[in-house]
Each structure stands twice: as C-alpha cells, then as structure tokens.
Amino acid sequence: MKLKRVAVTVILVVMGTTTVLSQECLSDSLRINCYLWEGATQELCEAKGCTWCPSSMDELAPSCYLPPNYGYNIDGPISEIPEGGYRINLKRSPASNISYVGADSEEISTFFYFDSDERLRIKITDNTDRFEVPLEIKPPANPGGENPQYRIEFTNNPVFSFKVIRVSSGAAVFDTSLGGLTFANQFIQIVNKVPSTNGYGIGENEQLSYRHDFSKWQVFPIYTKDDAPLGNKNVYGAHPTYTMVEPDGSTHTILFLNSNAQEFLLTPAPSYTYRTTGGLLDIYIFMGPTPEEAVGQYHQAVGPQPIPAYWSLGFNLCRWNYNSIGNMNATIERTREAGIPQDVQFGDLDIMFDWLTFTYDSNATYNNFSGLPEFIRELKTRGIHFIQSVNAQISSEERRLPWYEPLRLGHEMDVWVKRPNGTPSTGTLWPGGEHEGWDKPAGPGFGGPVHFTDFSRPSAIEWWRIICAQYRDVLDWDGLWLDMNEPASWVSGDVVGCADNLINHPPYTPGITNNISDLTICPDHVQDYGILYNTHSLYGWSQARGSFEAIKPLFGTNRTFQLSRSTFPGSGQWAAHWLGDNFSTWGNLASSLIGIMGFNLFGTPQSGVDICGFYGRPSEELCTRWLQVGAFYPYSRNHNVRSTSEFDQDPASWSEASRNSTREALMIRYTILPYMYNLFYIHRVRGGTVMRALWAEFPGDQVALGVDTQFLIGPAFLVSPVLTEGATEVEAYFPEGSRWFAYRNGAEIEEAGSVILTAPFGVINLHVRGGYILPTQEPALNTMLSRQNAFGLIVALDGSYAARGEMYWDDGVTHAEVQDEGVYFRSTLLYIDGNLTQTVVNDAYQGISGLEMDSIRLFGAPSIISTILLNGEEHTDFEIHLPGNELRVHNLNIPVNSNYMITFLP
Ligand SMILES: *[C@@H]1O[C@H](CO)[C@@H](O)[C@H](O)[C@H]1NC(C)=O
Ligand SMILES: *[C@@H]1O[C@H](CO)[C@@H](O)[C@H](O)[C@H]1NC(C)=O
Ligand SMILES: *[C@@H]1O[C@H](CO)[C@@H](O)[C@H](O)[C@H]1NC(C)=O
Ligand SMILES: *[C@@H]1O[C@H](CO)[C@@H](O)[C@H](O)[C@H]1NC(C)=O
Ligand SMILES: *[C@@H]1O[C@H](CO)[C@@H](O)[C@H](O)[C@H]1NC(C)=O
Ligand SMILES: *[C@@H]1O[C@H](CO)[C@@H](O)[C@H](O)[C@H]1NC(C)=O
Ligand SMILES: *[C@@H]1O[C@H](CO)[C@@H](O)[C@H](O)[C@H]1NC(C)=O
Ligand SMILES: *[C@@H]1O[C@H](CO)[C@@H](O)[C@H](O)[C@H]1NC(C)=O
C-alpha cells in the first residue's frame, strides 16, 4: 500500500463563503435553484421545504433556492484507500428534507484518488451497481508523485463540502462550498464555485463566444442529437469537460465522466452547476499548470488522436448531389485546372442505390455512377483518396432481404439494438421510398424502416468487418464517413413508440431539445453494455471505436481515416470530426473557430466545419473568405447540401479572383503542412492542441483571454481572418512579449496590441511568431506530389535573436504501432547567435533520404546579413526582401536528414 503525501486539511469551522444580504435572503449570485421547473411560486417552493425570496437585482437568479443546511454530512471515520487517497462516507443531513425528484440516496461515498502530481480523481457514488462509462482512462504519465500541485480541504459544517486548492497559488479549482450536492437515482447535482470566469469548452453546442459568460445563468445541455448548430442547443457530440485559466494564468482541465442526459448551468458566483440524470459523479482534474499541459494531460487520459494519414490533412472535396459520376469528375477536373490542390474526394448518399448504405448505384435503371470503381482507382493513381459515407442504421425492409447483404447477415449475426422484449429496435431513415421524387424534405414520417447496429456487441464488429470488406471490394475507399450516429432517426423512439415508464420519461430532463427520445431510439431499449438511457450519447463513440477495430485489418499496416459526426471523450482515438450541418452565414463562419478550438480541447485536433456552409447558398464573398480560413482548419473540407435549386460551392466554381485567393491560401497550407504534421505528432505523444486560441500561449494576457476571432496553429502560426461581410480590414490582437512577422513578406508588427490590418478580398492575414522555426515543403496539387518536393524552413527570431523548432517525418501512411518501433525521422532546430543548426534525433525513416532541405526564410535578423556559411563553406545564393529585411536563402541542397550548421554573418 502506497499512500501519497497529499496535504488534507479538515476545517471544522464555518467557512463563511456564503454572503448573506439581509436576514433572510441569500445574495442572488450564490443561489442554487431548488425548484427546477417553470412557474415557481412561494407556495410551491415552501411546500418543498425550499427558501423563497424574490431575487433582488438579478432577474435571472432563482427566487426559490436551497437552504444552507441542504446536503450530506460526514458519516464515520475518513479512511485511506489502497490506490492512494481517501474515502469519506456521507449521510443525508437530517436538517435537509428537500428532494428535487425523489429517490435520493441516503448514504453515499466520496473517493479522492491521488492519481499523480497533476491528476486528481473524485468519485461520488451511492455504492450500488450504477452505470459507469466504459471508457478506459489511461494511467497517468507519472503515477504517484511526491509533490502534488493540489491539496484538499473539507468541512462538515453545516454540511459536507470540499475544496481542491492549487498549492502554488491558493486558488480553489474545485469548491463545493455553495452547497447543492444531490445524489438521487435519476438526478445528480454538484455545484463547483470556480476561481475565475475564464472558462472554455463543454459541448457540443454552438457557442457565440469562446470564453464562457457566467452572467446569464446560461445552460449548456448535453445529449447527442442530430440537430443543426443554431445557438446553444445540444447537438451531435457529448463533451462534459472544460478548461479554465485561473487568475494567475495557471490552467486546469476538468472532466465529468458521465454519458447520461446532463447539463452545465453557468451562474454568476461564478460557478458551474453540473446536473446529470444517471450514472455517477466521476470527476478528473488535470492541474496543468500551463494551458497546453492541462489539455495535454486530459488528452493523455482519454486517449489522443493517432497521427493522421498525411493525405487526410490535404484539402477534401465533398458534396451531396453530384448525382452523376460526370458531375463528380467535372468538379475534380476544374479544381485541378484552377491549380487548387485536392487530396480527398468524398462520396455521399447520391452514389448509393436507393440511399441504401453500403451500395452504389450500379443499377442499370439509373446508372448515374456506373464506372465509379474504376474511377476511384484512377483517382488514386493521381494521388486523390476516396472516402465514402456509411450509416449504422440498416434498412430493414423485407423486400430487400434477397439481395441486401447487410440486412441478411445482420439478422444472422444478431447485431441490432433491441427493444426490451428482444426484437430489434426500429426507427426510420434515408432508404425506403422510391428513388425518384426525393424532393420531399427529410423529416419525421419520411424514410423507410431501419435497425440500429449495436457496436457494443462483438458480433456487430465482426459483421461490420465483413460488410466493409465486401464494400471495399466494390469501391476501393480509403476511409469512412460515419454520419447520423447520434443515433438519428426520423421517428421518435421507435415505429411502435416508447413504453410509458420512468426510464423513457425521467422526472427531470435537462435543457435539451424536446426530450430524450426525440428523433432517436427509446431510452429503455438495450445494447450489450446497457440501456440507451445510459448509453445514448456513447453511440457515435462506440461506432467510431468498433468500426476502427473492424476496418483496420483491411488496410494492413496503413492508417485509415474515419470522420465521425457524434463524439464523446476518447473519440479522437478513432475518428476525426466535422461540426455537422452548419449554415452558409457569416455568423457560422465566425462560430466555426470557436467550435474547432473546442474540439481541440476535447481531444480531436483534426476537426473542421463544412467550408462555405452546408445549408444555404453562400455569396462568393462569404465562400471566398471561408475558403481562406478553412485552408487553416486542422481538417479542411468543403461540403454542400443537396438542394432543389442546384448550385455549386466548390472552390473552382467561383470567379478567377476567388480561385486565385483559394489557391494561394491552400498552397500556404500545403507549404506549412510539415509544421502542422509535427503538431499532430506532439499531440499523439504528449497531448495538446493543433488549433488553439491566443490564451493557450498567453494565459496571463487579459485581452488574449477574450480573443476568439483569431487563432493559432500550434504556438507560432497566427491566422487573423475576415469574418464579416464587406470588410477589407481586420482588427487583430498581437500579445506583447513576442515578435510577430507577416507570413508573406516578413514585415514585423511594430507595436504589440490591437492592430488594424488591411485585408482586401483575396487576402487572409497570417503571421509567424518570433522564437520559432517552422519546417515547410514546396506545395503541389496534392500531398502525394508535395511529399516529393524540397523542404524549407521559416526562421522567425525572438527579441534575443533566437528561435527553435522541431521536425517529425514519416511515410505518412503506416499506423502508430509501427511508428512506435521508431520508423520515423525527427530533428531539433536551433538558431542562436547567428548559427542555425539541425540535430538529428532519430533517422530511421528511409524514405527521407534523397529529399533536400533547400530554402530558408529568415525573419527579424538584427542586421543585414552579408555572408552565409553552410557547414563552414560560403553560400552565395540568397537575397533580401523589403519590407522587414526578410532574408531568403535558396538552393541549399542539404540532405534533409543531415546534421548541419548555417551561419549568418552581418
Ligand atoms: C420531510 O418530508 C416528508 C415528505 O415531504 C414529510 O412527510 C416529513 O414530515 C418531513 N420531515 C420533516 C422533519 O420536515
Ligand atoms: C442522373 O444524372 C442525370 C444527368 O446528370 C440527372 O439529370 C438525373 O437527375 C440523375 N438521376 C439521379 C437519380 O440522380
Ligand atoms: C473526367 O473528365 C475528363 C476530362 O474531361 C475526361 O477525360 C475523363 O474521361 C472523365 N472521367 C470520367 C470517369 O468521367
Ligand atoms: C433497378 O432498381 C429498380 C427499382 O428498385 C428495379 O425495379 C430494377 O429491377 C433494378 N434493375 C436492375 C438491373 O437491378
Ligand atoms: C418527445 O418529443 C417528440 C417531439 O416533440 C414527441 O414527438 C415525442 O412524443 C416525445 N416523446 C416522449 C417520450 O415524450
Ligand atoms: C498502403 O498504402 C500504400 C501507399 O499509399 C499503398 O501503396 C498500399 O497499397 C496500401 N496498402 C494497403 C493494404 O492498403
Ligand atoms: C489571378 O492570378 C493570375 C496569376 O497570378 C493573374 O494573372 C490574374 O490577374 C489574377 N486574376 C484576378 C482576377 O485577380
Ligand atoms: C557559430 O558559428 C561560428 C562559425 O562556424 C562559430 O565560430 C561559433 O562558435 C558558433 N557559435 C555558436 C554559438 O555555436
């Protein structure tokens, strides 16, 4: 038994955190709602035993709130637990006789597990057999530890509460002293008074500012749902996690590992009131202390994303309703002719027969995609990969049985989600009507019957492997697009409805859209690992995991690619993400930055949104601006809805001026792709983001904490896009303490702070941060071609004329297990005192030999360079560009995997 030395203080005096305004009334901001439904009155409130007092200043504050003696008391001695930590048994306080929804647990336990110096786990349970999320939390990088960043204080007066305190600053990162702890069968609540209002994350929903606003009693509901991101609704994924920057700039991340319908209420205390309708409280606190460390510790715990296939980081083209192979081909052709790169082509529903997943329309009646298998093979020879959409919902119509193998074999292998009586759950989705006349909008009552694959059954994984292998024999796809996996259905519950019971109609429903069976399976239906009531929000997560396992053998040692709409913590291990059915609006362009930065916190750095918007028709200006920004999304895909009034929004469909702009932006993406790829490598080995907000690098900068209209790729590449109609300039913020250089010409930002930058139609502002070296590569029309080109470096010097960087390179296709054997190239780069050196750290990837490091762009040298020495020999091929005295060195011809030194002399 090993006990860690974590300081624990028991304070048995009143902590005095509750400010009492008058004799009776608690200050508005500190109230915890006692009556969760609409229409609270004094009578209803007091009948429940709650305190009634109309709010004094804040109209949104509850008038009916919990009295201070509500909660649990410590029951018996505090015991040490073998894993290291403490167990505290609690009993419902006799003084509190309030029940939110009934069925409160009289006795519960709180466990503090001291996982490591950086990581604390707090589990609160009633010690009965309750649902626990089957996500394997990885052991901490440094288990044990002797110098925890946290200590714990608790009190029992008048009820039990605890604080998790950061040792270095005294800030309470978790503080339950406001009260409100509730543990009932279908309602669990914990109120966390937080140390600042700089909170970020919690999803999935559309947030209009990245930093949370605690002033409005706003609710972030969480329950996976097929719903367009329109404001603060629960949509496709479930991410009960946030990252908070404390007053001194230290940062922590907290996960509430729970998959039930749940919500976070943001109150002005400031607090996050967390409520869930089942499972238990299993809270992980990651202490950082830097933002990237806090987020990285979270990523390591839930499982980071593997290094993506290099080609998937190129530009992806998709649309619903090419309607024929001719249209698909024409789009690819015009993209190439416009000099716009493309790495991936998608197939959507229109390539299918009758919208049946795992088919393509080879049917002689329609014949619009005949030749697709040959076409896909031909695209591959040109370096364009193919991804196909598939659904977990399988048409269950009898008439398909004779030939529709996914259904026949699915019955045989018993792969479906079940009703309580053991028959397959049945909803409706795409296939089912006749092929003609599809102009009816999708919606309830439309579509044919489907069964839902239960990815928690081993037989379903095996079945998926078989039908995927069969499908790949027909269409040689390189990855799968897992759509509709919330799981979506166009009837609520089941074609025969849902039973009337407390599972399907829980006593309290969080602020989600409609109810927990709305346009999805009944909550009392069953998967191998539990009832949908508990597992619903894990559906897309389980599909990504199961499908990954199933298709992996089809690709030998190659990486594959999955793109999943529904996600949960840990999903990044198996799938990238796009943020669903957005709109072609300027507002959605702006919120895309917030959404993608959020998913970088959540552990899926390879995220993006449909560039130019899915629904609606973008103007050329909007689409061009969006393509400029989208060129720097970690995952870059243009996609468009099927629509009755046909229109295209692929980059080559616009004017020459627009095409020029897109070409330039995407060529810059391809140029800096080695830099971005290294960030994905770092994410894999120690967690952390690829796309991040300024505060992730400057957490002590009060302005940076609120900036969400710019973003960084890694620590050093700043994007300041135009996000509003008609704008030809943009106000950008440049934090003090760093030098910033324009990407295109090396011109330095003269004074830190807010700067107005010109941004004509074709231009997106890009800056490189001093102190960093970025590996680059000559771009081309796709990564198969660009990977054969010469490398380069951008060296941007900091205030002491130094810079550092690193490079990771591999074959771009072999998956992680093989990489772990070390078949990659890795080097560190350092510029100091006029000397640039590369030190090779690992040189085991043979494919790198023959490639050259050819050019350097040096920003911010202290004086004009007159002589350059390459490994001691003079190198004369260089030039100086104004403004900014950018130095460009050409034709270095150094083997990229060699140790070299380049000296820059005045
Ligand atoms: C507690 O509440 C129950 C049910 O509302 C009621 O019957 C009981 O009298 C109450 N007890 C106290 C001590 O208020
Ligand atoms: C097939 O392609 C033709 C020509 O592009 C088009 O008119 C027709 O609508 C397509 N049919 C379907 C079912 O998509
Ligand atoms: C695609 O278009 C090119 C150029 O028009 C043509 O040569 C080729 O045959 C087309 N391929 C298909 C499959 O339609
Ligand atoms: C094509 O599909 C239609 C509609 O389901 C069907 O009537 C027809 O027999 C099919 N043709 C072939 C060649 O499979
Ligand atoms: C859930 O909401 C939908 C849409 O309002 C409704 O059709 C359905 O009957 C509701 N289901 C339950 C179980 O309340
Ligand atoms: C793996 O990828 C390489 C390079 O793209 C390709 O040539 C090879 O056919 C792939 N192997 C499999 C099994 O898919
Ligand atoms: C597009 O770029 C080309 C090549 O640089 C240039 O000649 C042309 O004038 C540009 N067109 C527009 C409309 O900007
Ligand atoms: C830089 O290079 C020069 C010339 O090769 C050498 O004399 C000097 O010691 C180097 N400085 C550092 C800091 O490595």
Q: Quick check: 795 and 836 in contact, CB under 8 A?
A: yes
Name, in order, each residue with C-beta under 8 angstroms of 170's C-beta and a sequence gap of 6 or more: none
| Cα 715 from Cα 695, distance rounded (Å) | 11
329 Cβ below 6 A of ligand 3: yes
List the structure tokens of 155.
């009190």
Q: Burial of 94 by CB count in 10 Å (0-12 exposed, 13-18 middle, 19+ buried)?
A: exposed
Reported as type and span, the H/E element at residue 465 is helix 458-474
Q: Which pLDDT score, from 0 to 100, does residue 889 have?
A: 98
Q: Give the closest residue to 896 by CA, choosing from 845, 861, 833, 831.
A: 845
Q: Answer whether 363 contacts ligand 4 (Cβ < 6 A).
A: yes
The packing angle between helices 656-686 and 291-302, to 10°, is: 70
Hey, is 799 helix, strand or coil?
A: coil
Identify the DSSP state of 193.
E
Angle between helices 586-602 and 291-302 (to 10 degrees): 70
pLDDT tens-digit readout, 230-262: 888 999 999 999 999 999 999 999 999 999 999
Distance, CA of 150 to CA of 287 (rounded, Å)? 8
**Percent of the chain residues topping a pLDDT of 90:** 88
Transcribe 215-256 into DSSP letters.
Answer: TS-EEEEE--------SS---S--EEEEEEE-TTS-EEEEEE
Which ligand 2 atom sits nearest the alpha carbon of residue 324?
Answer: 2
d(CA 833, CA 904): 9
Cβ < 6 Å from ligand 2: which residues? 323-324, 366, 368, 435
Cα separation, 740 vs 856, whole angstroms = 18
Mean pLDDT of 547-553: 97
Return phi, psi of residue 596, to 5°.
-75, -40
Widest distance between CA atoms in the chain? 90
In this structure, are strands 344-347 and 385-390 parallel, antiparallel, or unpaired?
parallel
Separation of CA 624 and ligand 7 centre (Å)? 15
Q: Is 333 in the pocket of ligand 3 (CB under 6 A)?
A: yes
**Run of H or E including 635:** none
* Residue ID of nearest Cα to ligand 2 atom 8: 323
Rounded Cα–Cα distance for residues 465 and 553 (Å): 9
pLDDT tens readout for residues 133-147? 999 999 998 888 889
Q: How far is the CA of 49 from the centre of ligand 1 (A)?
A: 9
User: How far away, in angstroms, is 364 Cα from ligand 2 center?
Assistant: 13
396 lines ligand 8 (CB under 6 A): no
**How many Å apart are CA 64 and CA 59, to the nearest integer?**
12
Position 55 pLDDT exceeds 90: no
Can you tell me the mean pLDDT for 506-512? 98
Give the per-residue pLDDT at 432.
63
Q: How far is the CA of 652 from the centre of ligand 7 (A)?
A: 14
Active-site positions read 483, 486
Q: Which ligand is closest to the CA of 658, given by its number?
A: 7
Give me the pLDDT at residue 439, please: 46
With 90 as the cut, is the pLDDT of residue 105 above it? Answer: yes
Q: Are 299 and 247 in contact (CB under 8 A)?
A: no
**Ligand 3 contacts CB of residue 337 (under 6 A):** no
903 lines ligand 8 (CB under 6 A): yes
For the segment 325-333, the average pLDDT, to the nearest whole number, is 96
Q: Establish whether residue 555 lines the binding site of ligand 6, counting it when its CB lies within 6 angstroms of any ligand atom.
A: yes
Mean pLDDT of 327-355: 95
pLDDT, position 260: 98
Contact 513, 421 (CB under 8 A): no
CB 662 within 8 A of CB 624: yes
Indicate whether residue 178 lines ligand 3 (CB < 6 A): no
Site to substitute for ligand 3 among 322, 329, 335, most atoms within 8 A of C-beta = 329
Question: Which atom in ligand 6 lies closest to the alpha carbon of residue 554?
Answer: 13
Whole-number pLDDT of residue 336: 98
The reply to whether ligand 6 has any atom less than 6 angstroms from the CB of 554 is no
Phi-psi category of 515—alpha, beta or left, where left has phi over 0 and alpha has psi -120 to 50? beta
- Which is the closest atom of ligand 4 to the Cα of 364? 13
Residue located via tokens 């626990």: 132
Ligand 5 centroid – CA 443 distance (Å): 14
Q: Which residues of 421-432 are buried (b: 16+ CB within 10 A; e: fewer)?
A: eeebbbbbbbbb
Long-range CB contacts (within 8 A, 24+) of 502-509: 502/186, 503/531, 503/533, 506/186, 506/261, 506/277, 506/533, 507/101, 507/102, 507/186, 507/187, 508/36, 508/100, 508/101, 508/186, 508/187, 508/275, 508/277, 509/261, 509/277
Ligand nearest to the CA of 661: 7
Range 701-708 contact pairs with CB under 8 angstroms and sequence separation of 24 or more: 701/735, 701/736, 703/733, 703/735, 703/753, 703/754, 704/733, 704/735, 705/198, 705/211, 705/245, 706/209, 706/211, 707/733, 708/209, 708/210, 708/211, 708/593, 708/594, 708/597
Q: Is the CB of 833 under 6 A from ligand 8?
A: yes
What's the pTM?
0.96
Within 8 A by CB and 6+ apart from 532, the residues are 417, 520, 521, 522, 523, 524, 525, 526
pLDDT of residue 13: 35
Residues in the chain: 906
Ligand 7 mean position, distance from CA 769 (Å): 30
Contact 688, 715 (CB under 8 A): no
From 350, 368, 438, 643, the mutation candidate for ligand 2 (largest count of ligand atoms within 8 A of CB) is 368
Reading the block at residue 55, the tokens are 């709010």
pLDDT at position 18 is 41
Please name which ligand lies nearest the alpha carbon of 867: 8
CATH topology of domain 9-14+75-302: Immunoglobulin-like (2.60.40)
- Are 836 and 856 in contact by the 8 Å Cβ rule? The answer is yes
Whether 819 shows a pLDDT value over 70: the answer reads no
**DSSP reduced 3-state for 545:** helix
Q: Is 529 in the pocket of ligand 6 (CB under 6 A)?
A: no
Ligand nearest to the CA of 399: 4
Give the ligand whose atoms come closest to the C-alpha of residue 46: 1
Compute, in angstroms, the gap from residue 472 CA to the centroid of ligand 6: 14
Coil/strand/helix, residue 63: coil
Beta-strand ranges (E) seen in 789-848 are 791-796, 803-809, 825-832, 835-843
Give the ligand with the smallest distance to the CA of 551.
Answer: 6
Q: Region 876-903: what's the mean pLDDT?
A: 95
The answer to whether 806 touches 827, Cβ cutoff 8 Å, is yes
Mean pLDDT, range 539-556, rounded to an integer: 97
Ligand 8 atom at minimal distance to the Cα of residue 835: 1
pLDDT tens-place string over residues 563-587: 999 999 999 999 999 999 999 999 9
Residue 353: the pLDDT is 85
Reading the block at residue 93, the tokens are 């306080």
- The neighbouring-strand residues paired with 91 are 73, 107
Peptide bond just before 148 cis, omega within 30 deg: no
Asked whether residue 465 carries a pLDDT value surpassing 70, the answer given is: yes
pLDDT, residue 14, reads 35
Q: Comparing 167 with 441, which gets the higher pLDDT? A: 167
**CB of 24 shorter than 6 A to ligand 8:** no
pLDDT of 15 reads 36
**Ligand 6 centre distance from Cα of residue 810 (Å):** 14
Residue with CA at minimum distance from ligand 6 atom 14: 555
CA distance 663 to 299: 34
Report the pLDDT value the prediction gives residue 23, as an integer from 0 to 100: 53
According to the model, what pLDDT value does residue 437 have?
Answer: 44
* 22 pLDDT higher than 60: no
Report pLDDT for 17. 40
The residues facing 195 across adjacent strands are: none
d(C-alpha 426, C-alpha 414), whole Å: 14
Tokens of 802: 């130094």
Each residue's pLDDT tens digit, 171-204? 999 999 999 999 999 999 999 999 999 999 999 9
Looking at the predicted structure, is the pLDDT value of residue 4 above 80? no
Q: How many CB atoms lie within 10 A of CB 731?
A: 12
Ligand 6 nearest-atom number relative to CA 784 = 5
Rg (CA), the chain: 28
Token pair in block for residue 640 = 């468009």
Residue ranges around ligand 7 (CB below 6 Å)? 656-657, 660
Q: Angle 401-407-411 (CA atoms, 0-180°, nearest 5)?
A: 100
Measured from the Cα of 366, ligand 4's closest atom is 1
Question: Helices (DSSP H) in 303-392: which residue ranges?
Answer: 325-337, 372-381
pLDDT at 459: 98
Residue of the CA atom closest to atom 6 of ligand 7: 660
Q: How much distance in Å is there from the Cα of 647 to the middle of ligand 3?
A: 21
Question: How does residue 83 score in pLDDT terms, banded at 50, 70 and 90?
Answer: confident
- DSSP-derived secondary structure letter, 553: G
Nearest CA to ligand 2 atom 11: 323
From 631, 630, 574, 581, select the one nearest 603 (Cα to Cα).
574
Q: Rounded to the nearest whole angstrom, what is the distance from the C-alpha of residue 892 to the centroid of ligand 8? A: 19
Helix (H) or strand (E) holding 882: none
Looking at residue 565, its pLDDT comes to: 98
Q: Which tens digits make up the pLDDT trace of 622-663? A: 999 999 999 999 999 999 988 756 689 999 999 999 999 999
Look at residues 688, 674, 693, 860 and name the one whose alpha carbon lies nearest to residue 774: 674
Map residue 775 onto helix, strand or coil: strand
